[in-house]
Amino acid sequence: MKEILWPKADSTHLTVYPNKMIDLENEIISRGMPVEALMEKVGIKISNWLMARKDLLRNGVVVVIGPGKNGGDGAVIARELFLKGVLTKLWIPFGIKNTLTLKHINYLTFIGVEKLENSPDYRKKDLWIDSIFGNNQNRGISDDIVRLFNKKYDQHYGCIVSIDIPTGISPHTGVPFKTEAIKSSITLSVGLKKIGILQDVAKPFVGEIHHIDIGITQMQLKNIQPKLLSLSQKDIKKLNLSLPPKNAYKYKRGRTLLVAGSSRYPGAAILAVQGALASGAGAVNALLPKFISQYICHHSPELLLSGDLDNSNHGNSLMSRNLNELDLDKFDSIMIGPGIGVDLMDWYKSEDKLKSFKGLLILDADALNRISLSNSVKQFFIERQADTWITPHFGEFARLFPKLDTKNNFEAALDISREFNIGILLKGANSIIADPANVAWQIYGSDPTSARAGLGDLLSGFVAGMSALELSSGFNIKTYSLAKYALIHSIAGYKCKSGSTASNIGKKIAKIVKKIKLREMS
pLDDT tens for 85-112 read 999 999 999 999 999 999 999 999 999 9
* pLDDT for 450: 53
State residue 23's pLDDT score: 93
Task: Round to whole Å and give the CA distance between 268 and 251.
Answer: 25
Which long-range CB contacts under 8 A does 58-61 form with residues at least 24 apart? 59/87, 59/124, 59/125, 59/126, 59/127, 59/158, 60/86, 60/87, 60/88, 60/89, 60/124, 60/126, 60/127, 61/86, 61/87, 61/88, 61/89, 61/126, 61/127, 61/128, 61/129
Chain centroid to CA 240: 19
Q: How confident is the model at residue 405 (pLDDT cuts 50, 70, 90)?
A: low
Residue 403's pLDDT is: 82
The amino acid occupying position 6 is W
Cβ proximity of 73 and 40 under 8 Å: no
Average pLDDT over the chain, rounded to an integer: 93
pLDDT band at 400 (very low <50, low <70, confident <90, very high): very high
Q: 408-452 pLDDT, tens per residue? A: 789 999 999 999 999 999 999 899 999 999 999 999 987 655 555
In this predicted model, what pLDDT tens digit does every residue of 142-161 receive, in sequence order? 999 999 999 999 999 999 99
Domains of the chain: residue spans and CATH: 14-226 (3.40.50.10260), 248-521 (3.40.1190.20)
pLDDT at 17 exceeding the cut of 90: yes
Among 232, 224, 166, which residue's Cα sits nearest to residue 196? 166
**Residues in CB range of 253: below 8 A, 6 or more apart:** 244, 280, 281, 282, 283, 469, 472
Q: Indicate the range of 150-164, 169-183, 387-401, 446-460 predicted with least confidence.
A: 446-460
Q: Which of 111, 120, 117 is nearest to 79 (CA)?
A: 111
- pLDDT score, position 151: 98
Q: Are 279 and 507 in contact, with CB atoms under 8 Å apart?
A: no
Q: What is the pLDDT of residue 1?
A: 40
pTM exceeds 0.85: yes
Average pLDDT of span 323-336: 97
pLDDT at 375: 86
Residue 449: the pLDDT is 53
User: Does the pLDDT value for residue 484 go beyond 90?
Assistant: yes
Radius of gyration from C-alpha coordinates of the chain: 26
The Cα 344–Cα 341 span in angstroms is 10
